[in-house]
Amino acid sequence: MDDNLSGEEEDYYYSSDQESLNGIDNDESVSIPVSSRSNTVKVITKESLLAAQREDLRRVMELLSVKEHHARTLLIHYRWDVEKLFAVLVEKGKDSLFSGAGVTLLENQSCDSSVSGSSSMMSCDICVEDVPGYQLTRMDCGHSFCNNCWTGHFTVKINEGQSKRIICMAHKCNAICDEDVVRALVSKSQPDLAEKFDRFLLESYIEDNKMVKWCPSTPHCGNAIRVEDDELCEVECSCGLQFCFSCSSQAHSPCSCVMWELWRKKCFDESETVNWITVHTKPCPKCHKPVEKNGGCNLVTCLCRQSFCWLCGEATGRDHTWARISGHSCGRFQEDKEKQMERAKRDLKRYMHYHNRYKAHIDSSKLEAKLSNNISKKVSISEKRELQLKDFSWATNGLHRLFRSRRVLSYSYPFAFYMFGDELFKDEMSSEEREIKQNLFEDQQQQLEANVEKLSKFLEEPFDQFADDKVMQIRIQVINLSVAVDTLCENMYECIENDLLGSLQLGIHNITPYRSNGIERASDFYSSQNSKEAVGQSSDCGTSSKS
């Protein structure tokens, strides 16, 4: 790479030195805010969960002029997808929107759910008993039953985990019961159950919302993550955990979620152990335990004292001469067994090739994480020296670029293992097409690997001990290599999306788009003003029954 850099190019990238570069390790001490623009990923804590839920509730309440429990019923039915709810409204109309979600609105409906304030006796169709009118409660659908029957119905449904959509008791009625009535009746006899009901309603915002998920940290940090644009992304929680929002596993791009799950299982289960046993051992014909040969003689003896021929696996006598093995003559070729052995050897060799390189880069990233303290010390020393160069942000930015590119490089090997193997895409590509695509990908992978190693080498240089000209040379190399690896990472992702996965018919292997600034760190959700407006506009009108 040319050491000289034109002033225009240098100034262009030097201004971008100030951009945030988040490292592969989840260490907050080496992280910088990703960007000054608004964040599309939010952290929802226990304290802000209610405000986040009310933000969506308020939008629906204002558009449709409905009460809060009707808005919640609609949002739960459409899995808290406000845009989809609005689309159904425009396409099918308000009546279809409400009926599909089980929302019934009666004209001239009173805020009081009790049937009558008088003590006149009325019959309950469930228990078939006559009760005073003030002990009957009417739902939005118009059906009235006594409070005892309603309470028993609500208790059963809440205990069964159906709090979010409790249906009316009337025959063939699919209307959803008013949550305020449920809360009022249940809290009279079972306050703890009413709290459980409220908790289920609150957590439905996370459980039923495809754009919100719990952080998979262990032990759990108690946070949830909400994304605004696309659920196919990788995020970082405020607790420091980076994960794939789509499958809740660790961040694994450019692997697809399916590929990563297969690779994780392959690395941790016993499949490759079985392959190794198949390649390097033979089963004893008597006790069937695997036996490994430790000498050159093809007459082997198991611990159970059974002797057998290593070449064909058949039982023999214990005597062995230069001419023959006692009681056995080996010479018949068994094609199926030979093919099985060769395939096991080939599969094991291929797996070890990709796994060793994947593991090597993972180990390198862990060792390079220690560079963070070394870089900080070298920058601190260099700033105190009387050098012409005063700004050393290039070193820190280069370090974070190294973290990200190393991470991309490590996960590119599991991707290649499945992309060019027979497990997933055997019927999607011909042998010639697979070879062309593999050569294209491996060329880009090789270029990225070479530049990543160069960047790592220059960052390890003791530039705090060098003179001005030598420091400037290292600075230019680090900046050039940082730009190069960023471009190569982006090109690799484009190759995967367009040339490799894009041409396949099976569309389940989508990958997270490449982000030059690294995995986006979620910002705290703060909506106090929105929460106040939602509280002020909620039209709760005392729907609990009166005794």
**Catalytic annotation, residues:** 297
Rounded alpha-carbon distances, angstroms, from residue 238 to 45, 63, 65: 10, 33, 36
Helix (H, G, I), strand (E, B) or coil at 105: coil
Between strands 520-521 and 234-236, the pairing is: parallel
Q: How many CB atoms are closer than 10 A to CB 229?
A: 9
- The answer to whether 155 and 190 have CB atoms below 8 angstroms apart is yes
Structure tokens given for 277: 């046993």
- The answer to whether 231 and 40 have CB atoms below 8 angstroms apart is no
Structure tokens given for 412: 């590119």
404, burial (CB in 10 Å: exposed 0-12, middle 13-18, buried 19+): buried
Rounded-to-integer distance, Cα 377 and Cα 120, Å: 86
| Cross-sheet strand order for the sheet of 242-244 | 242-244, 234-236, 520-521
Structure tokens given for 66: 């409905």
Rounded-to-integer distance, Cα 135 and Cα 374, Å: 75
Rounded alpha-carbon distances, angstroms, from residue 297 to 48, 278, 285: 73, 20, 18
Q: Quickly count helices (H) and strands (E) in the chain.
A: 16, 15
Rounded-to-integer distance, Cα 99 and Cα 27, Å: 50
- Amino acid identity of residue 545, one-letter, is S
Structure tokens given for 97: 């929107």
Beta strand extents in 224-363 (DSSP E only): 224-227, 234-236, 242-244, 282-283, 290-291, 299-301, 307-309
Crossing angle between the packed helical segments 68-77 and 49-64, to the nearest 10 degrees:
100
Most distant CA atoms of the chain, gap in Å: 112
Question: 17: Cβ–Cβ under 8 A, 6 or more apart, which residues?
Answer: 391, 393, 394, 397, 479
Cα Rg for the chain, rounded, in angstroms? 34
The 8-class DSSP code of residue 133 comes to G
Q: Which residues pair with 301 in a beta bridge?
A: 307
